[in-house]
Each structure stands twice: as C-alpha cells, then as structure tokens.
Amino acid sequence: MTLVFSQLFTGISIGAVLLLIALGLSLTFGQMNVINMAHGEFIMAGAYTVYVVQQIITNAGVSLLVALPVAFLVAGAMGVVLEFLLIRRLYTRPLDTLLVTWGVALILQQLARDIFGAPNVQTRAPDLLTGSITIFSSGDGNDLMVANSRLFILTLALLAVAALTLGLRMTPLGRRIRAVVQNRDLAAASGIATGRVDRMTFFIGSGLAGIAGVALTLVGPIGPTMGTNIIIDAFLVVVVGGIGQLKGTVIVAFALGMMQSLVEYSTTISVAKVLVFLTIVAFLQWRPQGLFTLRTRSLA
C-alpha cells in the first residue's frame, strides 16, 4: 500500500517538474504557436542564475528567494531579445522557427560552457529543503517519505499555474494575450498592439522557464545541456494537453508524470520511455488536437 502511494507521489513530483517546464511553453508554443527549442536553455539560464546569485549571497535560503525573481527576469529578457531579433520574422514559418531556435540553443549551450565550464556546477539547497517529511507511517519501516524539495517544486508549480490563470483572466494584459490568440486580426483592428503583446507573452513564457530552472537546481545537476534533455518531454505535454489551454497542460503533466513513475516501477526507465511515447501516439489517434481544444476561426 505504501508502495503505491510512494509511486504516486513520485509521479506527482515528476509531473510538477514537467508542469513547471511546460508552463512557459504553454504560453509561447500553446498561445503563440512558436516552437522555441531554446526554451530549455532559458531553463538552464535560470539554473545558472541560482549558481551566480549564490556566489554573491551565501545564505542558501535567501539566495534561492532572490534567484527566483532574478531568474524570471534573466530568462524573460533572453526571450524578448530572441523574439525581437529572430522569431518575429518567422511567425509564418513555424518549422523554420524550430530549427532556428535549435541553433540559438546550441550557441547558448556553448556560451554556458565557455562561461561556467563544461562540467556540471553545484548549488547549495537551503536546509529547510534538504530533508524530507513523513506523510504516512506504516510502522514496519516502509514509511512514506516525501522530500521537502519535491514539495517545494509542487507548491511552486501550483502557484505559477494559479498566477498565470489569474493573470490571463483578470489583468488587461492577460485579456489582450487571449484576444490576440483567438483572433489576431480582430485584436489588431481593435487597437491592440499585437507586436507588443507577442513580446510580453514571450517575456512571461520565457521567464517561467527561468523559474523552472531555479526549481531544477533542487533535484538535478546544473550543466550546459540540462535543457535539451527535458525540453522534448515538455513539448509533448503541451501537444497532448492541447494548444492554447492551460488546464490541458496541467492535467497532462501530472498524468505523464504518474504514468512514467508507475511504468518505470513495473519495468525499466528505458521501457517506460518507449511505452509513454506509444501511448502519446495512440492518444493523438483519439484526440489529434490534444486533450482540450480552443476553437478559433483559424483552426479547422
């Protein structure tokens, strides 16, 4: 019994990481239909931000709290620059965008290697987040333990979802973003500066990648190629969740995390990967547009 719960919670925490990574994509890919392969490198930038901040602020807890907004700004700024210099010209050519941003990703990785060195770097986690709490005590030594860092990531992911949902619904910018997604021409005709909205969307989406990077320092190594390894899973989450829908991303992130964890437990990691892929292909047979679809006049 404990085992099932333990696997479930592993799934939830894998899902939370996926969600944090995919959340930014659900804006840039989901809302704007831009495939930004450099999104993974923005995550990397967020992670290195923690490393840099810790060189200045030695207290692990404080540095983590400082790194969160700084990483958001750093990654967001990188996103805006990328949007302004390249992506803006490529809105009608999504496949070329994918390859161009892959090139940017390669350059950013090499920059990281040149600045921070090729080997992974270490950051210190705050004491508060290094331990684990016992959720369920079975008495026979098989207690259900949950790492604090995982709980922190879960909380961070849920907070980010809540902030994004509220932001899109309540703020004027959020309304503009949704207006541009649903009907770009009409939005432009109504006096919305669509170019600026695009840039803001990209800023927030990329900024969220920075936040994800900060979170990843708690559970994995920080290195130049850390972004490439996770980015495809995150794209799959958005594809399966459905374009332009936050709730799809949330549900699918947790579902995939859960599935990965459970299949992994009963077989091996490598088999789990293949099975998850086959499930996604099968799922797209059933719902080629993803779990939730946003009906606009531009989608047949």
Residue with tokens 């990481």: 17
Q: Which two tokens stand for residue 263?
A: 């299949």
Smaller CB separation from another protein, 109 or 217: 109
Nearer to another protein by Cβ, of 27 and 68: the residue is: 27
Contact (Cβ atoms closer than 8 angstroms) between residue 97 and residue 35: yes
Q: Residue 24 is encoded by which pair of tokens?
A: 């930014």
Q: How far apart are the first and last CA of the chain?
A: 47
CB closer to another protein, 56 vs 281: 281
Instruction: Name the residue with tokens 């989450």.
Output: 237
| Residues counted in the chain | 300
Q: Tell the smallest beta-carbon distance from residue 63 to another protein (Å).
A: 30
* Closest CB 9 distance from another protein, rounded Å: 23
Q: Is 145 helix (H, G, I), strand (E, B) or coil?
A: strand
Using the minimum distance from each CB to another protein, give the nearer residue, 170 or 299.
299
In the complex, the residues that contact another protein under the rule CB under 8 A are 33, 35, 86, 89-90, 92-96, 98-100, 102-107, 109-110, 113-114, 228, 232-233, 235-236, 239, 268-271, 273-274, 276-277, 280-281, 284-285, 288, 295-300
Instruction: Between 60 and 121, name the residue whose CB sits nearer to another protein.
Output: 121
Sequence-ordered alpha helix ranges (H) in the chain: 2-25, 39-56, 60-85, 94-116, 127-130, 148-170, 172-182, 184-189, 194-216, 226-241, 246-266, 269-286
How far is the CA of 103 from the CAs of 36, 85, 109, 112, in angstroms?
A: 10, 14, 10, 14
Least CB distance from residue 70 to another protein, whole Å? 26
CB of 299 to another protein, least distance (A): 6
- Measured in degrees and rounded to the nearest 5, phi and psi for residue 26 equal -65, -20
Q: How far is the CB of 229 from another protein (least distance, A)?
A: 9
How far apart are CB 183 and another protein at their closest, in Å? 10
3-state secondary structure 162-227: HHHHHHHHHCHHHHHHHHHHHCHHHHHHCCCCHHHHHHHHHHHHHHHHHHHHHHHCCCCCECCCHH
- Taking the complex as a whole, the smallest distance from the CB of residue 242 to another protein amounts, in Å, to 11
Q: Considering the complex, what minimum distance in angstroms separates the CB of residue 23 from another protein?
A: 17
User: Which residues have C-beta within 8 Å of that of residue 282, sequence separation ≥ 6?
Assistant: none
